């Protein structure tokens, strides 16, 4: 199995997560001026007894998404480090990575722009090469 391809796939997820978080944090102030953001900030909901706004939920999920994408990439890099003997023992993890990466391509294609589509596509290719080479 191709360790280098697996590492490339993992680094792609790390980059998607860092890019997502950086983009969100740098454009956060600009987004506050839009009508949609204003509506989100003024729409209150109660979930399990806690009152919050839809904007707070949006902001929390966005930051968590970036963090989880970074964690996914880092976790896979840690797996390679821990199992330095090769990828043959990691087949179930790599299959899971292929499924997650392929699903990401489809979701990013529908909801995002070119860069996350390209990086998740490269991650899918890397994980597939790791699985079959």
Residue with tokens 């964690």: 71
* Tens digit of each residue's pLDDT (9 = 90 or more) over 60-74: 999 999 999 999 999
What confidence tier does 99 reach under pLDDT thresholds 50, 70, 90?
A: very high
pLDDT beyond 90 at 109: yes
* Tens digit of each residue's pLDDT (9 = 90 or more) over 26-60: 887 665 567 888 888 999 999 999 999 999 998 99
For residues 114 and 65, what is the distance between their CA atoms, to the nearest angstrom?
18
Report long-range pairs for 82-90 (Cβ below 8 Å, ≥24 apart): 86/1, 86/3, 87/1, 87/2, 87/3, 87/6, 87/130, 88/1, 90/1
């Amino acid at each position: 199995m191709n360790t280098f391809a697996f590492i490339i796939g993992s680094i792609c997820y790390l980059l998607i997560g860092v890019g997502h978080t950086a983009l969100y944090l740098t454009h956060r102030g600009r987004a506050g001026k839009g009508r949609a953001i204003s509506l989100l900030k003024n729409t209150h909901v109660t979930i399990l007894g806690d009152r919050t706004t839809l904007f707070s939920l949006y902001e929390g999920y966005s930051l968590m998404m970036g963090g989880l994408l970074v964690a996914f990439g880092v976790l896979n890099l840690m797996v390679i480090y821990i199992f330095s003997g090769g990828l043959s023992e990691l087949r179930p993890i790599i299959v899971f990575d292929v499924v997650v990466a392929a699903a990401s391509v489809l979701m990013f294609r529908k909801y995002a722009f070119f860069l996350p589509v390209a990086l998740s596509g490269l991650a899918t290719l890397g994980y597939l090469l790791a699985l079959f080479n």
